[in-house]
Amino acid sequence: MYKQYNRSTSSGKPASHYANGGGHRAGGQNGQRSSFRGRSNNQSRPASRGNSRGRFNGGSTIPSSRFVCKADPIIKSAPYVPQNKFADFAINNVIKANVIKKGYVTPTPIQDVAIPYVLSGRDVVGVANTGTGKTAAFLIPLLDKILKNPREKVLVIVPTRELALQINQELMEFRGDLRIFSVCSVGGMSISNQIYGLRRAHNFVIGTPGRLRDLVDRKVIHLAEFRTIVLDEADRMLDMGFVADMRFIMAGMAPNRQTLLFSATITGELDKLIKEFLTNPEKISVKTGETARNVEQDIIRVPQGSDKIEHLSNLLSKKEFSKVLIFGRTKHGVEKLCQILVRQGFKAESIHGDKNQNRRQSALKAFRENHSQILVATDVAARGLDIPNVSHVINFEVPATYEDYVHRIGRTGRGDQVGTALTFVN
């Protein structure tokens, strides 16, 4: 059983149609779950034929009513009362100072509950909504673990390159001037540079499953040296087909390791892996419902034969659409849409699997730092990325699964902010 640290779920109240003068109303049903299984975020999905009921762009079978829900902002709810402050945790004073320097004073629920268990050496399964501070929940206590035993090594596995790079950046900020070193091992970047880093002293290796397995096969990474492993966004790694790589890596590690698994959802398949990989784990759930309560969700109905991009351009021209993340289904479609928006005069960037890592990071940096108004992306940008002040998420194409939808819209309405998510349907 999971120890629950839950707050109330989404209100499920109906919301008015966002475009074309309003008038349409549909009830949100956030308590339901889709049984549709997802595929890799870079894998093309077959297009649907016709407009059968409940089937939109690309073959999704999610009812449109599930994309409509009034925001019930977290700021209106009773605030979470943590048991600890960061200053109270039994961690090194230098790490505490670095954490406080980053502006962390009061832990989020997942940090408050998980950090003491990680410090105690327990295996942990942490289930929490996207954007709730899962990264700090494992990095802070593991940095302390390294300081207590500098010969310890930690392996962090994540589904996407962007998330690996983001975690590595957070690690460097938390460590400050401490001599704790990390290597980020992801595809799309020079493997020779990563091999060079791995041959030098290091305590953390953060990477994606495919590149990590490649480095193990090259005998550059020796799995038996790692006594701690973190599986972050584990549900997404399963969806992307990395289960064989995960099993390969886990099989090579020391049996008396500490294993930490963090996820936004627990499926039947993931539960089997938890039983396989973890030993008597502390199971923690701090989910607040399937979708963020402070995200206003609505649909944009596109009449048959009308110009979908014209509808999008009209929205993007409005002042309130100040920082917009647009999701498409395929790499080609995302790049084509971005180019059209640029020709129309919008400051837009794109991110997808066909771009090399430097260009992907450049696009993310421009969007994060407000040099571009729009980021058009595949689901590679739907998980784990912390991009501040995204005003709107637009699903230009409906995702394949409701879980993908939840993670897409989790890029807005983060913290105590209210965001808006709009989904185009025929």
End-to-end, the C-alpha distance of the chain in Å comes to 42
Average pLDDT, the chain: 82
Q: What percent of the chain has pLDDT over 90?
A: 53
Q: Which two tokens stand for residue 363?
A: 């696009």
Residues 62-96: tens digit of each pLDDT = 777 777 776 655 444 456 688 888 888 999 999 99
Going by pLDDT thresholds of 50, 70 and 90, the confidence category of residue 413 is confident
Residues 323-358: tens digit of each pLDDT = 999 999 899 999 999 999 999 999 999 998 888 778
Over its C-alpha atoms, the chain yields an Rg (Å, rounded) of 21
Q: Which H or E element spans position 421?
A: strand 419-425
Domains of the chain in start order, with CATH, are 7-75+293-425 (3.40.50.300), 86-285 (3.40.50.300)
Query: Residue 178 burial by CB count (10 A; 0-12/13-18/19+): exposed, middle or buried?
Result: middle
- pLDDT, residue 79, reads 60
Distances in Å between the Cα of 185 and the Cα atoms of 116, 152, 217 are 28, 18, 14
Quick one: average pLDDT of 233-239?
A: 87
Q: How far apart, in whole angstroms, are the C-alpha atoms of residue 349 and residue 338?
A: 6
- pLDDT, residue 183, reads 97
Residues 110-145: tens digit of each pLDDT = 999 999 999 999 999 999 876 778 999 999 999 999
Query: Residue 125 burial by CB count (10 A; 0-12/13-18/19+): exposed, middle or buried?
Result: buried
- pLDDT, residue 188, reads 82
Rounded to 5 degrees, what are φ and ψ at 184?
-100, 120
Residues facing residue 157 across a β-bridge: 207, 231
pLDDT at 57 over 70: no
Quick one: average pLDDT of 42-52?
A: 34
pLDDT at 320 over 60: yes
